[in-house]
Structure 1
Amino acid sequence: MYVKSVTSDWQFEDQPANLAWREKMEQLANQPGGKEELHEALRKQDESAAERIHQNNTRKVIRALELIHSGKSAPDPLSQTNPALLYDVIIIGLEMERSKLYSRIEQRVDRMIDQGLVQEVERLYEEGYAHTQAMKAIGYKELVAYFEGEYSFEQAVDRIKIHSRQFAKRQLTWFKNKETVTWFDMGAEPKSEDFQGIVKFLEGIVQDVSK
């Protein structure tokens, strides 16, 4: 969706957030059985939206209910599957051996830890931001769970690596299925000649357009 919002005529919601109402729903969601109650409320008002949105996706359930509460219908992203392109777009994708990719992801997580990720999340946690939307990002939510005693530190780091690998896999799957991408194989380790090949590819396109 982020790519299409730049390259295509993607239509966004124009309904502003009702923060007071949303906070009330979030408090309900945090109660025992609250998620189920909210999802059932959505099902009663918009069954198709309830089918699209899993009950554990609290943020989307609440947003759908919020729109219905304001007199609008819950958005259906499938209705914008192929929005019109705004530009002539060339998307370049880089591939490498999956095992090597996962190894590099894990090394990146280790560097993030070494460079102060734990201290950053701890500061935000102590300032009261533990359960904000931003803290649900990979690398943050796992450390919040560590601070709250759900995981050991080692388990939290391991979960960051697992979730990062899963996210990378979803990204690759999405781009291969949803976008027209010219893929370049980086092999086990990217080399300068690999990037020179990309430059030559783009130069060829520019020359064709200039003719």
Structure 2
Amino acid sequence: MKKVIIITGPTGSGKSDLAIDLAQKLNTEIISADSVQVYKGFDIGSAKVTKEEQEMVPHHLIDIMNPEEQYSVADFQRDATEKIKEILAKGKIPIVCGGTGLYIHSLLYDLDFSEEKVDEKLREELENIYQREGVEALVKLLEELDPERVKTIDLRNHRRLIRGIELAKSGKKNHTKNLRKKNEQWESYYFVVRRDREKLYEIINERTKKMIGLGLVEEAKTLYEKYGFVSPMRTIGYKEMVSYFEGEYSLEMTIEKIQQHSRNLAKRQLTWFRKEEDAIFIDRDVYPKNEEAVEYILKVVEGENGHGE
């Protein structure tokens, strides 16, 4: 059977660097599974791979949408499937890399993304909750309503969370009914990069400071002034900047908020990954160097090594 390698992990885990090294070793291409990196201009805050890195290894589904446009998981499922088939046709093993969980699930399982009628009153209520209390309040509400559904949704995307809550309240199961029916078009190898939690939090804190040094404030200000509070502007790293621009936070407090929200996201991602039955964990304490992790991945994919946590 044809093979596809998936490299994921919590924010700040180093999955992108590992995927690039693996792609160079295999002479293959990478398909991005990141719901923010699809948008043009959202570079620093999304930790988008650089132009130089994209020249080293071909990347797909990056910078394909304008910020005011909507890009759904159904769109990703269609586009990524097409790219996977194109790369497979070249005799190569595609690598899917990113941290948007529902994007990855759309390739692992036969998920049904058919739309249902929208309850406009409920949606307005949920939008108000988001505006007052942030994405964390939506995550908590969905966890209470449907703990299984929350595992299939990009926790940074408030629109997906709202849709999940709507479906949970309506009793619809369209995202979970096929959750464990595997996609049989190819054999997926689902690798999760994992670090010691305290070390990961240190990396996240330092990475936030680095983003500020690279010009995140200026990038976010330019995007906000041009496009307003569009969907990608509501994600971690950008939504906090909007509060800063509107005088709600000082810059120092804004940096702390980005760090805190990124750590919260990483914690939720780690909890999610531990529940994934097909996940093959790459522990950075065991494989501290990329070349060691690449060697392990190749042994698993080539069937020379058992795997598990």
Q: Say whether residues 1:141 and 2:239 are aligned partners.
A: yes
Asked whether the 8 Å contact 1:186–1:194 carries over to 2, the reply is: no
2:190 partner letter:
I
SS in 2 for 1:93: strand
Query: Which residue does 1:13 correspond to in 2?
Result: 114
**Counterpart selection for 1:155 from 233, 253, 257:** 253
**What do the CA deviations read for 1:52-104 (whole angstroms, capped 9, x no partner)?**
59xxx97468758999xxxxx67433323323332322111222221111111
The corresponding residue for 1:99 is 198
CA–CA distance in 2 between the matches of 1:4 and 1:62? 18
Return the offset for 1:207: 9.5
Asked if structure 1 preserves the Cα contact closer than 8 Å seen for 2:244 and 2:250, the reply is yes
Contact 1:121 1:143 in 2 (8 A): yes
The corresponding residue for 1:108 is 207
For the pair shown, the structure with the greater C-alpha radius of gyration is: 1
- Alignment gaps of 5+ in structure 1: 36-49, 68-72
Residue of structure 1 aligned with 2:221, choices 94, 114, 122? 122
Q: TM-score, normalised by structure 1?
A: 0.66
Give the equivalent residue in structure 2 for 1:89: 188
Cα distance in 2 for residues equivalent to 1:104 and 1:65? 32
Q: 1:201 aligns with which of 296, 299, 304?
A: 299
Is residue 196–residue 285 contact of structure 2 (8 Å, CA) maintained in 1?
Answer: yes
Q: Identity of paired residues, percent? A: 34
RMSD of the TM alignment (CA)? 3.9
Amino acid at match of 1:105: I
Residue by residue over 1:129-188, the C-alpha shift from the partner in whole angstroms, topping out at 9 and shown as x without a partner, is 12x221111000011011112111111111101111111121121111034111122129
8 Å CA contact retained: 1:65, 1:74: no
Conservation of the 8 A alpha-carbon contact between 1:64 and 1:75 = no
Gaps of 5+ in 2: 1-101, 134-143, 150-156
Name the SS of the counterpart of 1:149 in structure 2. coil
* Most deviating of 80-89 and 2-11: 80-89
Higher RCO structure, 1 or 2 (CA under 8 Å, sep 6+) = 2
SS of aligned partner of 1:90? strand
Structure with the largest fraction of helix: 1
How many residue pairs get matched?
179
Question: Partners in 1 of 2:219 and 2:111 — Cα distance?
Answer: 35
Contact 2:107/2:183 (<8 A) preserved: no
Does residue 170 (structure 1) correspond to residue 271 (structure 2)? The answer is no
Distance 1:162 1:146, change over 3 A: same
Residue of structure 1 equivalent to 2:105? 4
Q: 1:111 to 1:207 in 2, by over 3 A?
A: closer
Distance 1:205 1:159, change over 3 A: same
Q: Are 2:111 and 2:179, in contact at CA under 8 Å, matched by a contact in 1?
A: no
Aligned AA for 2:210?
R
